[in-house]
Structure 1
């Protein structure tokens, strides 16, 4: 509720201004050529991952990486239920997305092989519906699916929608409702138009019909038409989709006019997003509302995310602006932008476009004379006005279902003539005479008439070039109710669309001495010109700093009548009064790379900045001292009261507004060209590296989600790749890579990660935006656990659930191999004792071999148990210690086994062999 209130409040604030700018757009496109940008549907799961139905399969997107889940054919529709289960419909049937044994999603087919071209699916409670041209399939958990067949009474099925749990099917013979597994005529659509889309918000449904109109539907199932301010624009551009953004705002997608954002209570257009406002293409394939109250749309060139409540407004897509953008400033309720081609001002301009539609007008015919037969219907070239006359052309109506229309049967289309003959049965009955005896008047006839309306386009403002400036403008300064522009053409005083030259030579920078009515102008000749404001409001040069011949990059005010001038490697402390120099002092500052110095007066002291860091002026030492508590800047910008600087992690603010709430949103941009603040405000003007101009409302909150959970994307080595479970890896292939990600679509490249591997590391790694991929080239055998954290641009930290895995040692170091060795040793010992009586030499060899192998086995087992895994030297010392400890054992075994063998041999020598008597039987005679 709090976020919703903030969203409504923010819209109200933006609407207070005439020049509000355009919504913030983010563009995304798969870089792989094998991915198909033609998208039919989009869904988002609870983890924040996005899934797109395309002709190549299902695309998964996390804000950084694209992953293709291939299918046998094109995927036309995706739906997700409250349990996070995802269902698909496509050219090869329909089914469900399920995880395989390694945790990766794959498409599982539910349909029979003969089911093809299923173009829509819908989830309602515990049921899933799949729609094809000739059949509707209904699945409920493990129950046998129900199939409703299209017939002569319905014709082909063309669309599927849901309102308050009831299923409506568009057919060639009208809209039908599913009741008790049967199709019955629907009473909801009184105008007998197809339902293009439905979108639910709390207890209210928005219904878009084929007549290009929007209706609201409550629980009483009665449609109430919403009157749109720009209904002609919506009708002419053919509405194809729509969805709620929140309770007070919804958006309509059109076939050729982009997006129309509409205030739900009044029907007034809040914004039109099309090619003129930064959209790559006006044709909307699919539309979706994400969990951060932003709108995703699919078009021919990829995907665009529109953020209505982000406190950025774009000012670079209004008509008339040319050149590379260099500076911007608001002055007297107008926006001035300096570019490489001159100075431009944003002014209101009524820009219209002609919208063509058709209407019907009654044909005025002469009243027939008394007792004269009426004209035969066959000779009358008129027609009765159809009640459902549609303003959009027939060709546009055939495309309102967007890219999926080719899957449906085309209705027979005929181009009506200007006048046609009405059905003859309407005139079969002879009209009865009136009381005065005259024939009754014929039924009124209507004629189809082409109408052209002028409709305001989305850009209500346009840039106009300020005359008199035809060169680059790099500085805009407000002073004493005037705007001063400076650049390569000189310095100018701006009055409306006119510029008056003050200095006609290239100007490096210009600064206003507040309270002194003086302009400091630094030229490319390394001169510092001073212009004083006269009582007549004109500027005249007073030559008070002619002796200063050094390029001045920045000027800021100190205490009363004190000014600080930033040179190349010197800072000049200047005191003036009554436009006269009182003192001028030069102070050295460390600037080995000759960076542009800037500064401000903070805490009763002057502070300057360059690429080496921050320096504070010590009045006792009369020198600038380095401030080691502030990070070294990578990039910085300065105004009269603030310094914005970026370190290795984020943008920071030093100055009078250190608590600016939304400053971290500047991390949306990797490269900034310009930052400047509006006077007496936290609002900023920002120019990005890709030539975009934004106004940033720094003091306004944004209803942004706290962030999606941190996810394990994959664990892989050269042999396997998994996403879930507790995997095991062979030590010989222990080069393991972990890829983690926090889904984010606002500033995914600015999210920082850190990790710790329990079992190997004791400390966390540093924060880095590249640690979403962590590689361990080699890991010793053992059990490990990966811990990871992610931090977004707002400072929110998310933890990854611990990922446990095991690195298995080589087979000769595993317990089963040790057991096999022990069994072998025991067998050798027994064998040596058995052979000692007959084969003494072989028995001795086996005994010695057994002793050697047994000792080696014990040493290996102990060394593996006490391995340090920290240093080869330590491991070697441990092995030596183990060898000394085992030495007595070795002596004991050798002595014991050889003594036993000798005893057995001696016994064999002194034991006499038994004598066997053989009795001889006497021979018979």
Structure 2
């Protein structure tokens, strides 16, 4: 019953206990309403259950020797290496209530855990796997069937597993059960002595396995002791859930009366921790989150749901190796970067909004934002209050000669202790720059409408003086004066200008505009900043410095070895900042460090508030960097660790993570998982696999790399982080298949040489045969070509002969036609002569008449014509007459002539003049010739002559 009662109070969200706690919580909240504060706190990082993918409740947190975080979660054991969360479950899936990391005498790391009816440890194998070893299963303690292990602690000689009624001591070999006369809460190891609170009996010490009562602690009989911690002068600090804090000197118990003692009693202290950095006290409560007190008990920080915690119920509290605090919550896990020099003001009901300006004046912090100007006492945790009349966008706050000036969207103001005063109607005052003339000190202001000047009145107050003549009314966002007296002006959107003013600083003497692409890469979004007694210009992601002739030259110190775009901001004492999209690199005389901050885009504000603090404008509040705090460096030991090496084809197939590992011959694709257990920082990695490539990869936030199609050879994997230059190496080799061994390769070489020799021999023989075949083919082709040519020649000759025959036939036809024509003419002349003789009678002497008639008769079908005809005919119709005479030896010469005319296909009418006979004579000759040739009457005589 006692155990269940305290369980109800401390762990309110167990089944069946919710209604009681809800009533209790409502009562507390009703009596003590929330008071909003404006406290700057260290960076806080939330890990909700959607990230680690396990139960909401986290009961205890521990860190191993290799800096891995382990969390006792209601679903099992959570492991976090800075990159990946992994859940390990007990055999029966019990809730894990407690966890302890330890290293054995032989150097093995163990993660001890405890839950209901179960305790044991996880131990990592050489392959990076955690294997669970149960210690409770080998015992015969009946009490274990009903007991739940709530805490594990360690001394130099044993591990102690504690429930509410038993303690199980494990000395590395055997387990001993220690029984007490009553129930107790958490056992604590303080200076290697074990103390605990026996319920209803006060404090006890476990010594030599005996329970010894501590004198003077009976007043704690009715209290629930939540923690026992080492305190100054060898004393103990005792925290109770609802009775406050006590100091015990081993004789008497004294209440530690600190300013917030009563508040802590009401909020139920559940966990407590002495911080190693400055002996501060961390107190985790059930109702109001986490309190950080200095060693004197004064409140330093208060973390709750209003300023970032996921939940106000702290179930676990732990400090890691980098002195950051881990909180196991009733809902999620939180990390507070307590040792970081960065503190921030960010809360759910933040009245500031996005911040653009800040200044410290009269021991007060003024912050300018898109919602106006806000002020609070500095330093303090009191709330911000808005300054009336300055609502809206504020661009600039600057203290000049102990006067606080405000560049506002509406006008320019002087902020006074009891109000504000408008000093000009100049709108959008982005920047103020004090300058000296021979007569007076002026204050130049870049605004929405050009460049303006202010001077002091008779009372020493800044008042508006004049607008600088010759400068166009452009929005001037930045002003930098160089040592030669030049003013460099950056347009808010597009443009870069250089000007020299006259002695009175009221008008322009020189005006120069820098154009793209001749002078600068781009005129858009140009930025200028003071840089090492000179000026730095950013244009188009490049940086430039003016030379002696004010020509902008590339500044190579910033234009190399950086693939990501960044901006530059100058600080004090030579400090400067590289501002990236999601981080800042801060550089001072002692070195560089990375800050996990994302500033407002296109209004990246970094302001030195004092010699101690830098102010960073955020989109929800602001952050401060304390220059006097040296953040714990990442030591050489903090290098990436090889977490696992697995077969990419079968992820359950794992290999040794130590170097010189030999992979099986069938594993040619692997995944190498690595991590750097540095938490709450933007980690990036570069890697390479020597043996495959000497080239480093690009920066990546991925915590694994995959390689496929690996050859059988030796490799060395190297990985480094962006936190330091230390390199982690992992060497491995791939076993060869039999055909990849040296002997196999030698055999392959011999076989290849023999095969090559055979191929050469075969190719030579084949080449000879091929050459011979080609030669034969060429000869055959030549012969065929010769035949073709000869055939062509014959065809040409035949064509020529045919042409000659055609010509001869034409000539023969011409001769025949000429003979026919001549005979026709001569016959006409003869007929005409005969007609004349008849008409003239004796008038034409007979002698002359006969002489003419004889001459005509002699020339009709003359012998000379026939001889010519016969010669041509024989040339055309080769040996026609011989063949005809052979066929018919008795054929007469006149019949031969008739046959020639028939072969020439002349008609009877055409043949009559040629042969010099009448048509009747032609028919008679045709008839006689047919008889001699013995041809039938119906046989065509012309066709016969054609065929002869």
TM-score norm. by structure 1 comes to 0.67
Structure 1 residue 605 displacement after superposition: 4.6
Aligned residue for 1:366? none
Tell me the secondary structure at the aligned position of residue 41 of structure 2: coil
Are the aligned partners of 2:496 and 2:523 in contact in 1 as well (CA < 8 Å)?
Answer: no
Structure 1 residue 643 displacement after superposition: 5.9
User: Which among 323, 335, 339 is matched to residue 305 of structure 1?
Assistant: 335
Aligned residue for 1:369? none
Q: Which of the pair is proportionally richer in strand?
A: 1
Aligned residue for 1:105? 130
Aligned residue for 2:410? 489
Structure 1 residue 75 displacement after superposition: 0.3
Structure 1 residue 213 displacement after superposition: 3.6
Aligned residue for 1:73? 94
Tell me the secondary structure at the aligned position of residue 540 of structure 1: strand
Are the aligned partners of 1:661 and 1:700 in contact in 2 as well (CA < 8 Å)?
Answer: no
Aligned residue for 2:554? 626
Q: Distance in 1 between matches of 2:226 and 2:129?
A: 34
Aligned residue for 1:575? 501
Tell me the secondary structure at the aligned position of residue 605 of structure 2: strand
Structure 1 residue 36 displacement after superposition: 1.5
Change (3 A) 1:810 1:545: farther
Are the aligned partners of 1:27 and 1:303 in contact in 2 as well (CA < 8 Å)?
Answer: yes
Aligned residue for 1:644? 577
Q: Distance in 2 between matches of 1:136 and 1:321?
A: 52
Q: Which aligned pairs between 1:343-358 and structure 2 lie closer than 5 A?
A: 343-347=373-377
Tell me the secondary structure at the aligned position of residue 150 of structure 2: strand
Are the aligned partners of 1:157 and 1:171 in contact in 2 as well (CA < 8 Å)?
Answer: yes
Q: Which of the pair is proportionally richer in helix?
A: 2
Aligned residue for 1:253? 284
Aligned residue for 1:760? 692
Q: Distance in 2 between matches of 1:292 and 1:858?
A: 56
User: Which among 734, 743, 759 is matched to residue 807 of structure 1?
Assistant: 734
User: Which among 57, 61, 84 is matched to residue 38 of structure 1?
Assistant: 57
Q: Distance in 1 between matches of 2:118 and 2:267?
A: 32
1:774 aligns with 2:705: yes
Structure 1 residue 469 displacement after superposition: 1.8
Are the aligned partners of 1:529 and 1:546 in contact in 2 as well (CA < 8 Å)?
Answer: no
Are the aligned partners of 1:23 and 1:312 in contact in 2 as well (CA < 8 Å)?
Answer: yes
Change (3 A) 1:577 1:513: farther
User: Which among 654, 659, 672 is matched to residue 738 of structure 1?
Assistant: 672
Q: Distance in 2 between matches of 1:33 and 1:700?
A: 32
Are the aligned partners of 2:123 and 2:132 in contact in 1 as well (CA < 8 Å)?
Answer: yes
1:137 aligns with 2:153: no
Structure 1 residue 195 displacement after superposition: 3.3
1:566 aligns with 2:497: no
User: Which among 539, 547, 563 is matched to residue 463 of structure 2?
Assistant: 539
User: Which among 580, 585, 592 is matched to residue 511 of structure 2?
Assistant: 585
Aligned residue for 1:283? 313
Aligned residue for 1:191? 219
Tell me the secondary structure at the aligned position of residue 593 of structure 2: helix
Q: Distance in 2 between matches of 1:115 and 1:19?
A: 48
Q: Which aligned pairs between 1:394-793 and structure 2 lie closer than 5 A?
A: 460-496=381-417, 498-504=419-425, 506-507=427-428, 509-515=430-436, 517-524=441-448, 526-536=449-459, 537-545=461-469, 547-559=471-483, 561-567=485-491, 568-581=494-507, 583-590=509-516, 591-602=520-531, 605-620=534-549, 622-631=550-559, 634-636=565-567, 638=569, 644-646=577-579, 651=584, 659-661=588-590, 664-667=593-596, 669=598, 674-678=604-608, 681=611, 683-689=613-619, 691-704=620-633, 706=635, 708-716=638-646, 717-719=648-650, 720-722=653-655, 724-725=657-658, 728-729=662-663, 734-747=668-681, 749=682, 751-761=683-693, 763=694, 765-766=696-697, 768-770=699-701, 772-792=703-723
1:62 aligns with 2:81: yes
Are the aligned partners of 1:466 and 1:497 in contact in 2 as well (CA < 8 Å)?
Answer: no
Q: Which aligned pairs between 1:310-349 and structure 2 lie closer than 5 A?
A: 310-317=340-347, 321-347=351-377
Change (3 A) 1:659 1:183: closer
Q: Which aligned pairs between 1:820-835 and structure 2 lie closer than 5 A?
A: none
Change (3 A) 1:561 1:165: closer
Structure 1 residue 48 displacement after superposition: 1.1
Are the aligned partners of 1:734 and 1:807 in contact in 2 as well (CA < 8 Å)?
Answer: yes
Structure 1 residue 95 displacement after superposition: 0.6
Higher relative contact order (CA 8 A, sep 6+): 1
Tell me the secondary structure at the aligned position of residue 484 of structure 1: strand
Q: Which aligned pairs between 1:845-856 and structure 2 lie closer than 5 A?
A: none
- Structure 1 range deviating more: 111-120 or 570-579: 111-120
Structure 1 residue 288 displacement after superposition: 1.0
Change (3 A) 1:290 1:100: closer
Structure 1 residue 184 displacement after superposition: 5.2
Structure 1 residue 760 displacement after superposition: 2.6
Tell me the secondary structure at the aligned position of residue 266 of structure 2: helix
Aligned residue for 1:916? none
Structure 1 residue 571 displacement after superposition: 1.8
CA shift digits 1:26-64 (9 cap, x unpaired): 333343474113111111112111110001111111223
1:89 aligns with 2:142: no
Give the length in aligned residue pairs: 690
Structure 1 gap ranges (5+) = 1-17, 350-458, 819-856, 864-878, 892-925
Tell me the secondary structure at the aligned position of residue 797 of structure 1: coil
Structure 1 residue 77 displacement after superposition: 0.6
Tell me the secondary structure at the aligned position of residue 142 of structure 1: coil
Change (3 A) 1:163 1:478: closer
Structure 1 residue 521 displacement after superposition: 4.2
Are the aligned partners of 1:468 and 1:500 in contact in 2 as well (CA < 8 Å)?
Answer: no
Q: Distance in 2 between matches of 1:179 and 1:580?
A: 86
Structure 1 residue 730 displacement after superposition: 5.7
Q: Distance in 1 between matches of 2:269 and 2:698?
A: 47
Change (3 A) 1:727 1:575: same
Aligned residue for 1:24? 43
1:162 aligns with 2:210: no
Q: Distance in 2 between matches of 1:59 and 1:284?
A: 17
Q: Distance in 2 between matches of 1:700 and 1:298?
A: 27
Change (3 A) 1:890 1:804: farther
Q: Distance in 2 between matches of 1:806 and 1:136?
A: 49
Structure 1 residue 70 displacement after superposition: 2.1
User: Which among 202, 217, 226 is matched to residue 256 of structure 2?
Assistant: 226
Structure 2 gap ranges (5+) = 1-36, 138-143, 764-948
Structure 1 residue 722 displacement after superposition: 4.0
Structure 1 residue 584 displacement after superposition: 2.2
Larger Rg: 2
